[in-house]
Structure 1
Amino acid sequence: LPFVHLNIATPDYLKPTQNQSTWRRPRGMFQKNIALQWIRSNTNRNDDALVYFADDDNTYHWKLFQEIRKVQSVGVWPVGLVGELLYERPICLNGKVHSWFHFIYRKRKFPTDMAGFAIHLNLIHKYSNYIFNVSATSIGQQESQILDTMTTQDQLECLANNASKIYVWHTKTQIMFITAADKLQKAGITYDLI
């Protein structure tokens, strides 16, 4: 498998302090931007390829990569152990996103995790000026930023058996906080994939 290893440090002023949650700071934006720059400089817009922002704190089932290969434009699927829930996911009807099962950052236009979608390379080239916005207003909005630029909800492709199978999970070597489950229960909302 050929690969390129790119790296760029996050500026110190954007790194979380010892007592600050990591989600309060923009995470990985500089790294994603250098990756987008490299992709645009080293690929052709007509190449049949896909862009997926994999992360070191995720666990991937091999079936995820079979699903990613199906993406024609922008594909979406569930992500496990994210957003203080057992999973977040698009709710799909007949292959189209109807709504979203999520809890954290309720006002997100596309309430999914970075691990929950892939984008066809031609869109990365089509929106050649797009970079992740490192402003404070973008915290928790990276996914919505890129998806809102490159697609609409009605154009999203539901994968992983109509978004009913989980093939990627946030797995960290720390205690997971599934605190939103109690709040869902109090609101009368139940998990539908368990």
Structure 2
Amino acid sequence: MIVFFLSFILSLNIGTGVGKVENDVFSISNSPLSDDDKAKKLSIGERLIENLKGENIKDYLRLITSDPHIAGTQNNKKVGEKILNLWKKNGLENVHFVEYEVLLSYPDFDNPNHISIVNRDGKILYKSNGTSPVIFPKEQGAQNAGIQWVAYSAPGEIEGEIVYCHYGRKEDFEKKILFK
């Protein structure tokens, strides 16, 4: 009952605050804005931020990241629809999709990318399985969530010496050490 009452009071405050913003800031007038009116316009963002709850960020992140949503896939469209509905629910009026063709090469989910370490004789010393281990099942348990790939990179095989570059800074590359 207390939660309902507090929620009701909060919604009244938000509703009153939104109405105040609309009446004070968005009113149409033919006269130039006074300094006081300009200050009210600049405080719109501050008024909106006051009405946001930090604890909602966790819920919103879960909403859009619960499943892998690679660009151009059905899951990506579902995430877009969730965001569209959330924005409409929060009062935005002109919310719509703009479709375009995603120029992205996708991983082969049945035959994931892998890394192999091969000795000079061509013998494979190590071969990864191409998937990341699931550490947090609730967050990473979706099908294909562990497939490793680099978006927008060309497919193919690469061979080369193993190079150690410490932190990957410019000076580390200048002092690179080749393992032999």
TM-score by length of 1: 0.19
Question: Of the two structures, which has the highest relative contact order with CA contacts closer than 8 Å and spacing of 6 or more?
Answer: 1
Larger Rg: 2
- The answer to which structure has the higher strand fraction is 1
- The answer to which structure has the higher helix fraction is 2
TM-score by length of 2: 0.20
